[in-house]
């Protein structure tokens, strides 16, 4: 009875302590945890409430934080890194009771979403933990929370890791993780149990895992001093495929070094198939599959992005004695064998080696396939291949049990190749082979009608390893689709100087063909009608022997919707009627729209055949372009649109700059002249009416020559050049002339006028302009003012200048109120711009009987360093000097002085498109030093103006 009594008392005392401790120590715990968070977190932390409990994670006393939000580290401090329904830390009771110190030895995080991000520059959002500098002496008097972890437990996490610098995406949903060990020790063993319900992994937008389950049972030795991880026991299971890892990983200052081996040995083909994309797994459930497989993976070396060092990867996949059969198949796929080896040194695709030592299977007698392929390199690829097979495609479909596709026909192939493939050097492996397909038939579940009567007889030969002996014949390639037969016959010889003979005839309903393959991107009503006969040699066009060409026929496009990777929206070709006439492809009738913009083209392209033949071919052409309306804004690369097939550079730039428009990207393979006539062109709210002139596109640059348009009620003439550098930056040169425009209207309607000429606010009347500028656009296609260089003349033809603060301040100081309303009619003001400074050449005007003149320097940020000479009557021959410093808003006046205070110019990095140093007021210097520096700055600005003239005249 005593034992029961004391047991009951003990239990009651423990329960009492569990309830009373959270009440006794709440202030201590909450305060010290807050101290710890403030000292050790760089990201902003927010949560709803905190509370203490013995029961949420019994038997630990835990501090819980509900609805936690943690922002990322700079430059992502406004973006969420982690949200969690609950974050709880386990408290060491001994330290709490006896030392009143909070020692954290357990962490629990439940129902969390983590968004880990690394941008294209390598900047990461997860650097939120701030450790104490080791060189500082330890403060033994300061009390606060400390960590000595023995347990980490994550429950129901969703983690997205998106690394733009490495082009890696990992998306894990339903992650549960338990880590045990002395995590606060310098060297400890971490026991890990990890389960993920759905895991996606992609590299360069290619998915290598999609919606896979993963289980990991790991023991990892961690050395926190050297940041080294040794994989001691590491067993993974991806769906049904088991993998074992061994090796080590060390984190370095600029990357990491690793030597990790993985293997899945003595597994079955079915287990291997379980890692295929989800759409294939239902097929595997209903298919009889047997055979053995082995997978080996090895990655070794150092990864350093700054030093451009990357590790080596080796992979080997073995499949032995495979058997695949669907229940309804008359003959199974038997004797499936494969030995595939991949070697990728330094993750460099130009060193990629693929060795398919064997790929073979049988589908009964006289129905088998054998392949051997070896390649090394990419730009210059060594190739050795032997492919041979005769396969009944219907029998293959039945053996595999494919449900969503009906494919028929007999395919026979025999190809041998040995040599080097290099497009630049025009090398092609010695080759002899053919591919024949008879009575082909293709139908999918996505469209009710099949592509049928597919017949293809293709032969390829090469006798000496060069393009010169390469020959390809298609005799014929034909098929029927929805009652429309298509026929192509081609004989191509000598790819060094291609001798071609091609006939193509038929009607393609492009939208419906794409529906057969469940592809989107072309409009459902899109039609291509062709009747072409092309006969000639490549050099006939390039050397001007057009009489030897015999290219003729028609190509008609209707209602075709198409995209390009650098534009956010789709082009919609309502009608395109093209006629081939020897060297030219004529646009007889072409009308297209792009968003709100419309285009009508009439003219021709040259070199169309060479463009498709040459690897880096360029299209040449001359057109008349007519348009009712062109909106430049919707061509900017990062604008929203229906195009889902953007380049990876554009996609990443959009993610990293969600509120930016980007710049317009120009195709690099066009050399086209356009005689443009547009009723209205709009750019960022600025309307240009009745635009006429010559535009040309050449090697990724756009040139405007002798172009004019109406703007703010005046006619402007410009010559210009534009070139994009990335989706976020571009550069330009422009020389412009405009006669008699209204200053106030320009100030109100044109942003650049308000930025560059703030004094125009106080000017009314008519002005003319002759100016040359070059500079850069930023990620919103706005001018970067410190990048501007150039200069020109402003003629104040008929103006009123009232209450300009700088002139009023001069007038107040010399007692001449007439400076509030000077006479500047007919005055020419010549200026030169460089590094955010505007250098003003001397100009003279009238103020009553006085003849003031002004010269000096001002900046776009409003700094002044101007010299004013006030000429006295008669004629202004005698005068006195004034120096104006300060700013436009607060000018400072010094009478009878020539000693101003110069302005140090800004520094702009053209490569990074960043301002390294903003302009600032210089220290006081002697007159001689000031004159010398001013003259040097002005000369640089004048040289920039001359260079613009030279650049524009060269095109």
For the segment 341-375, what is each residue's pLDDT rounded down to a tens digit?
A: 999 998 888 899 999 999 999 988 888 999 999 99
Position 808 scores a pLDDT of 86
Burial class (CB in 10 A: 0-12, 13-18, 19+), 206: exposed
Residue in the block written with tokens 């001007």 = 544
3-class secondary-structure state, position 847: strand
Cα–Cα dist 532/550, whole Å: 11
pLDDT greater than 60 at residue 33: no
Please state, for a pLDDT cut of 70, what percent of the chain lies above it: 85
pLDDT at 103: 60
pLDDT value at position 11? 40
Highest-scoring range by mean pLDDT, 598-602, 744-748, 803-807, 811-815 = 598-602
Average pLDDT over residues 653-677: 91
pLDDT digits (tens, 9 = 90+) for 821-863: 888 888 999 999 999 999 999 999 998 888 999 999 999 888 9
* pLDDT score of 566: 86
Question: Is it the case that residue 14 has pLDDT exceeding 60?
Answer: no
Give me the mean pLDDT over the 331-342 stretch: 90
pLDDT confidence of 144, banded at 50, 70, 90?
very low
Quote the CA–CA distance of 808 and 840 in Å, as a whole number.
19
Q: Nearest to residue 490, comparing CAs of 481, 505, 482, 500?
A: 500
Instruction: State the Cα–Cα distance between residues 659 and 917, nearest whole angstrom.
Output: 26
List Cβ neighbours of 590 (8 Å cut-off, separation of 6 or more).
573, 575, 576, 577, 578, 599, 600, 601, 602
pLDDT (0 to 100) of residue 564: 83
**Tens digit of each residue's pLDDT (9 = 90 or more) over 249-266:** 887 777 778 898 888 888
Q: Name every residue whose Cβ is closer than 8 Å to that of residue 193 and which is 6 or more positions away in sequence.
A: 177, 178, 216, 217, 218
* CA-wise closest residue to 585 among 612, 614, 563: 612
Distance between CA atoms of residues 518 and 31, nearest Å = 60
Tokens of 352: 């990629």
Q: What share of the chain is helix, strand, coil (3-state, %, to 5)?
A: 20, 55, 25
Which tens digit of pLDDT belongs to each residue from 267-308? Answer: 888 888 777 666 666 666 777 888 889 989 899 998 887 788
Q: What is the mean pLDDT of residues 119-143?
A: 62
The pair of structure tokens assigned to 819 is 């400076």
Per-residue model confidence (pLDDT) at position 99: 56
Give the mean model confidence (pLDDT) for residues 637-664.
90
Q: What is the mean pLDDT of the chain?
A: 83
Q: Please determine, for residue 629, whether its predicted confidence score (pLDDT) is greater than 90.
A: yes
pLDDT of residue 710: 92
Higher-confidence residue of 927 and 508: namely 508
Confidence of residue 112 (pLDDT cuts 50, 70, 90): very high
Whether the pLDDT of residue 637 is over 80: the answer is yes
- Asked if pLDDT for residue 60 goes beyond 70, the answer is no
For 101-140, the DSSP string reads --EEEEEEEEEEEEEEEE-TTS-BS---B-PPPTTSPP-S
Q: What's the pLDDT tens digit per position in 452-478?
A: 999 999 999 999 999 999 999 998 899
Mean pLDDT of 119-147: 60
pLDDT at 96 over 60: no
- Smallest CA-to-CA distance from 717 within 735, 740, 695 is with 735
**Residue with token string 């459930």:** 285
pTM exceeds 0.85? no
Beta bridge partners of 658: none
The separation between the first and the last C-alpha atoms of the chain, rounded to the nearest angstrom, is: 108
- The label of the residue with tokens 């451009």 reads 308
Nearest to 542 by CA among 617, 610, 444: 610
CB of 214 closer than 8 Å to CB of 190:
no
pLDDT band at 936 (very low <50, low <70, confident <90, very high): confident
Beta strands in 607-699 (DSSP E): 619-627, 630-631, 670-683, 686-698
pLDDT for residue 234? 79
Nearest to 848 by CA among 826, 825, 816, 878: 816
For residue 424 the two structure tokens come to 């630049």
pLDDT of residue 140: 41
pLDDT tens sequence across 772-799? 999 999 999 999 999 999 999 999 888 8
Q: Distance of CA 136 to CAs 132, 133, 142, 146, Å?
A: 8, 6, 14, 17
Alpha-carbon separation of residue 552 from 64, 492, 494, 517 (angstroms): 79, 17, 22, 32
Higher-pLDDT residue of 890 and 190 is 890
636 has a pLDDT exceeding 50 = yes
pLDDT score of 800: 85
Band of the pLDDT at 40, cuts 50, 70, 90? low
338: part of which helix (H) or strand (E)? Answer: strand 333-344
Over residues 398-425, the mean pLDDT reads 89
pLDDT-derived band of residue 136, with 50, 70 and 90 as boundaries? very low
In the predicted structure, residue 682 carries a pLDDT above the cut 90: yes
Give residue 279's pLDDT: 61
Distance CA 912, CA 516 (A): 47
Q: Give whichever of 70-74, 298-302, 644-648, 754-758 has the largest mean pLDDT.
A: 298-302
Alpha-carbon distance 258 to 845, whole Å? 75
Q: Taking 80 as the threshold, does the pLDDT of residue 34 lie above it? A: no
pLDDT at position 78, please?
85
Region of 441 (left: φ > 0; alpha: ψ -120 to 50; beta: rest) is: beta
Q: Give SS3 for 468.
A: helix
Longest dimension (CA), the chain: 127
List, for residues 383-397, the tens digit of each pLDDT value. 999 999 999 998 888
* pLDDT, greater one: 514 or 147: 514
pLDDT at 330 over 90: no
> pLDDT band for position 553 (50/70/90)?
very high
- State the Cα–Cα distance between residues 540 and 546, nearest whole angstrom: 6
Torsion sign over Cα 387, 393, 398, 401: positive
Q: Does residue 15 surpass a pLDDT of 50?
A: no
Asked if residue 145 has pLDDT above 60, the reply is: no
Pairing, β 670-683 against β 630-631: parallel
Long-range CB contacts (< 8 A, 24+ apart) of 27-34? 28/96, 28/100, 28/102, 29/63, 29/91, 29/96, 29/102, 30/63, 32/101, 32/102, 32/143, 32/144, 32/145, 33/63, 33/89, 33/102, 33/145
What residues have CB less than 8 Å from 30, skipping those under 6 apart? 50, 63
Q: What is the pLDDT of residue 232?
A: 78
Q: Is the dihedral of CA 908, 914, 916, 919 positive or negative?
A: positive
Residue 9: CB atoms within 10 Å: 10
Task: Please list the alpha-helical segments (H only) found in 254-342.
Answer: 269-273, 281-285
Strands 405-421 and 864-872: unpaired
φ/ψ of residue 186, rounded to 5: -65, -40
Q: Residue 679 in contact with residue 628, Cβ under 8 Å? A: yes
Q: What is the pLDDT of residue 148?
A: 58
The three-class DSSP label of residue 652 is: helix
Q: Please state, in angstroms and rounded to a whole number, the distance separating the CA atoms of residues 822 and 809.
A: 13
């Amino acid at each position: 009875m005593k034992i029961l009594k004391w047991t009951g008392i003990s239990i009651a005392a423990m329960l009492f302590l569990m309830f009373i401790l959270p009440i006794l120590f709440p202030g201590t715990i909450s305060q010290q945890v807050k101290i710890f968070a403030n000292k050790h977190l760089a990201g902003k932390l927010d949560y709803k409430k905190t509370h203490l409990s013995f029961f949420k994670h019994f038997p630990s006393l835990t501090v819980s934080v509900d609805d936690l939000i943690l922002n990322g580290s700079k430059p992502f401090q406004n973006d969420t890194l982690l949200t969690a329904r609950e974050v709880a830390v386990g408290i060491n009771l001994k330290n709490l009771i006896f030392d009143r110190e909070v020692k954290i030895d357990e962490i629990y995080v439940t129902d969390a979403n983590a968004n880990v991000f690394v941008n294209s520059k390598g900047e990461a959002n997860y650097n939120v933990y701030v450790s104490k500098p080791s060189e500082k002496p330890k403060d033994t008097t300061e009390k606060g929370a400390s960590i000595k972890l023995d347990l980490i437990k994550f429950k129901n996490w969703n983690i997205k890791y998106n690394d733009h610098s490495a082009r890696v995406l990992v998306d894990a949903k339903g992650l549960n993780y338990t880590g045990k060990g002395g995590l606060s020790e310098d060297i400890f063993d971490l026991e890990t149990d990890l389960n993920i319900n759905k895991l996606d992994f992609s590299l360069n937008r290619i998915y290598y895992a999609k919606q896979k389950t993963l289980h990991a049972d790991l023991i990892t030795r961690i050395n926190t001093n050297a940041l080294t991880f040794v994989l001691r026991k590491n067993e993974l299971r991806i769906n049904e495929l088991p993998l074992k890892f061994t090796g080590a990983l060390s984190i370095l200052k600029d990357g990491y070094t690793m030597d990790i081996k993985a293997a899945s040995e003595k597994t079955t083909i079915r287990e291997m198939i379980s890692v295929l994309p989800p759409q294939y797994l239902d097929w595997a459930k209903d298919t009889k599959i047997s055979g053995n497989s082995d997978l080996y993976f090895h990655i070794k070396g150092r990864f350093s992005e700054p030093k451009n060092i990357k590790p080596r990867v080796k992979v080997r996949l073995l499949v032995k004695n495979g058997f695949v059969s669907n229940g309804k198949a008359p003959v199974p796929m038997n004797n499936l064998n494969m030995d595939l080896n991949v070697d990728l040194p330094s993750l460099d695709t130009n060193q990629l080696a693929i060795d398919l030592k064997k790929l073979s299977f049988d589908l009964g007698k006289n129905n088998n396939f054998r392949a051997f392929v070896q390649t090394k390199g990419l730009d210059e690829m060594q190739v050795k291949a032997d492919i041979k097979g005769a396969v009944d495609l219907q029998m293959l479909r039945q053996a595999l049990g494919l449900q969503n596709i009906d494919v028929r026909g007999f395919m026979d192939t025999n190809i041998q190749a040995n040599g080097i493939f290099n497009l630049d050097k025009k090398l092609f492996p010695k080759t002899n082979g053919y591919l024949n397909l008879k009575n082909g038939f293709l139908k999918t579940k996505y469209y009710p009608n099949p592509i049928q009567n597919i017949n293809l007889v293709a032969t390829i030969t090469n006798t000496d390893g060069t393009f010169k002996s390469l020959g390809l014949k298609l005799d014929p390639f034909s098929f029927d689709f929805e009652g429309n037969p298509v026929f192509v016959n081609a004989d191509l010889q000598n790819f060094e100087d291609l001798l071609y003979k091609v006939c193509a005839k038929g009607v393609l309903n492009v939208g419906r063909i794409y529906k057969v393959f469940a592809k989107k991107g072309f409009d459902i009503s899109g039609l291509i009608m062709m009747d072409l006969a092309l006969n000639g040699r490549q050099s006939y066009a390039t050397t001007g022997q057009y009489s030897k060409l015999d290219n003729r026929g028609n190509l008609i496009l209707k209602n075709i919707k198409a995209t390009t990777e650098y534009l956010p929206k789709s082009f919609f070709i309502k009608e395109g009627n093209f006629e081939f006439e020897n060297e030219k492809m004529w646009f007889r009738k072409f009308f297209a729209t792009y968003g709100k913009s419309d285009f009508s083209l009439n003219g021709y392209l040259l070199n169309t055949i060479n463009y498709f033949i040459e690897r880096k071919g360029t299209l040449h052409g001359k057109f008349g372009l007519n348009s009712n309306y062109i909106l430049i804004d919707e061509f900017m690369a990062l604008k929203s649109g229906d195009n889902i097939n953007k380049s990876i550079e554009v996609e990443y730039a959009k993610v990293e700059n969600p509120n930016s428009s980007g710049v317009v990207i120009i195709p690099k393979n066009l050399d086209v002249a356009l005689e443009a006539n547009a009723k209205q062109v709009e750019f960022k709210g600025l309307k240009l009416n009745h635009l006429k002139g010559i535009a040309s596109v050449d090697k990724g640059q756009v040139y405007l020559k002798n172009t004019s348009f109406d703007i703010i009620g005046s006619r402007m003439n410009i010559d210009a050049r534009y070139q994009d550098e990335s989706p976020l930056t571009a550069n330009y040169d422009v020389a412009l002339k405009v006669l008699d425009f209204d200053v106030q209207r320009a100030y109100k309607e044109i942003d650049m006028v308000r930025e560059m000429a703030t004094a125009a606010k106080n000017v009314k009347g008519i002005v003319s302009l002759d100016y040359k500028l070059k500079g850069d656009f930023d990620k919103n296609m706005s001018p970067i003012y410190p990048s501007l260089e150039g200069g020109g003349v402003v003629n104040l033809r008929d103006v009123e200048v009232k209450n300009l603060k700088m002139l009023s301040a001069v007038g107040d100081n010399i007692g001449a109120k007439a400076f509030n309303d000077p006479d500047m009619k007919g005055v020419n003001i010549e200026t030169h711009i460089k590094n955010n400074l505007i250098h003003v050449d001397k100009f003279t005007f009238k103020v009553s009987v006085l003849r003031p003149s002004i010269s000096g320097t001002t900046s776009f940020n409003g700094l002044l360093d101007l010299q004013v000479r006030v000429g006295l009557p008669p004629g202004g021959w005698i005068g006195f000097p004034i120096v104006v410093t300060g700013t436009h808003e607060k000018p400072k006046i010094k009478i009878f002085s020539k000693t101003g205070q110069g302005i140090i110019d800004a520094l702009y990095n053209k490569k990074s498109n960043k301002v390294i140093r903003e302009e600032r007021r210089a220290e006081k210097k002697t007159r001689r030093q000031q004159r010398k520096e001013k003259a040097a700055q002005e000369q640089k600005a004048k040289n920039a103006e001359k260079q613009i003239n030279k650049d524009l005249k060269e095109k």
